[in-house]
Amino acid sequence: MAQRMYDDLAGWWPLLSPPSEYVEEAADLLPRLPPPSGSQPATLLELGSGGGSLAFHLKRHFRLTLTDRSPGMLAVSQAINAECEHLPGDMRTLRLDRQFDVVLVHDAIMYATEPAAVEETLRTAAIHCREGGTVAVLPDFVRETFVAETDHGGHDAADGRGLRYLEWVSDPDPDDDTYVVDYVLVLRHGDGEVTVTHDRHVEGLFARARWLQWFDEAGLSARSSLDSSGRVIFIGRIRAAGGPESRGTTDEGTAG
């Protein structure tokens, strides 16, 4: 099922999830990423960068290459991150024939709803990460941290448009590997007309141990920890060729 939020409604993204809502998350993430080793900024590839709201806070610290399969979301990001490289591409299959100091997958990873899709994305990340580099993956939930919840918000624009949303997170079938996020979007257009849209997102939900196994199979030594909001962050590093298997997966802290 296509998500309208990233398609014909992509232009509303700055009123749904602007950079101002990512200040705390960026401040938590940055100390977990390696500082540049030389005089030039470190390079960072983001897979599934969406509207670029998190990237907005990272571009002062890294030289960014932002990729997404949605042309509309790339256009939104280009408007606020014009100095960054933007490329179309699917996080499962992207091949740039380049390597980066950091490869980041933010909440776009939630749309990997099958184990194979997670494995393909981690393989993409590993292929694009230089030896000694870092792969950071930030899912909204793992199975151990999932909580059914609701949220709401939205913003107004100077041109008279406005957006308000209700977000409803639920897990209709706790025995499968997905959960559901329903959005009700109330859109006030520039001419004053108000429309209401429902957008359903089916997202992946996997146990932390499975994540760590997939990192290991991709050639990444991974650690998991909790961020300031209680979400799991996976930090992986490329294992040296022929390195001991014991450098595989480990944990820091708990995830539920």
Q: Under CATH, which number does the domain 143-204 receive?
A: 2.20.25
Segment 216-226 shows an average pLDDT of 96
Selection from 100, 74, 104, 105 nearest residue 87 by Cα: 74
Taking residues 45-51, report their average pLDDT. 98
pTM summary value:
0.92
86: amino acid identity, one letter:
H
- When comparing pLDDT for 41 and 140, which is higher? 140
Query: What are the residue boundaries of the structural domains of the chain, listed by start?
Result: 4-142+206-247, 143-204
pLDDT of the residue at 76: 98
Condensed to tens digits (0 to 9), the pLDDT of residues 98-131 reads 999 999 999 999 999 999 999 999 999 999 999 9
Please give the average per-residue pLDDT across 34-46, as a whole number.
Answer: 83
Helix (H) or strand (E) holding 74: helix 71-80
Cβ of 150: how many Cβ atoms within 10 Å?
10
Residue 200 has pLDDT above 60, yes or no: yes
d(CA 236, CA 215): 7
Domain 4-142+206-247, architecture per CATH: 3-Layer(aba) Sandwich (3.40)
pLDDT in tens, 134-175: 999 999 999 999 999 999 999 999 999 999 999 999 999 999
Tokens of 218: 């991709």
Q: 43 and 54 in contact (C-beta within 8 Å)?
A: no
Dihedral over Cα of 102, 108, 110, 116: its sign: negative
At 196, phi and psi to the nearest 5? -125, 130
| Joined tokens for residue 93 | 């299959």
Backbone angles phi, psi at 30, to 5 degrees: -55, -45
Instruction: Work out the mean pLDDT of the chain and round it to a whole number.
Output: 92
Is residue 118 within 8 A of residue 101, CB to CB? The reply is: no
Would the pLDDT of 27 be above 90?
yes
The reported pLDDT for the residue numbered 241 is 61
Quickly tell me which residue has 């990460």 as its tokens: 129
Task: Inform me whether the pLDDT recorded for 96 exceeds 90.
Answer: yes
Query: Quick check: 225 pLDDT over 50?
Result: yes
**pLDDT for position 239:** 82
pLDDT greater than 70 at residue 54: yes
The CA distances from residue 49 to 6, 11, 125, 135, in Å, are: 11, 15, 13, 14
Cα 105 to Cα 125: distance, rounded to the nearest angstrom: 8
Element (H, E) at 168: strand 162-170
Residue closest to 105 by CA, chosen among 126, 91, 86: 91
Please write the tens of the pLDDT for every residue from 166-199: 999 999 999 999 999 999 999 999 999 999 999 9
Q: Output the pLDDT for position 34.
A: 83
Q: Look at residue 39 in the predicted model and tell me its pLDDT.
A: 66
Q: How far apart are CA 87 and CA 102, in angstroms?
A: 17
What number of other Cβ atoms are within 10 A of residue 26's Cβ? 17
Helix (H) or strand (E) holding 132: strand 129-137
The confidence score (pLDDT) of residue 38 equals: 67
Is the pLDDT confidence value at 65 over 80? yes
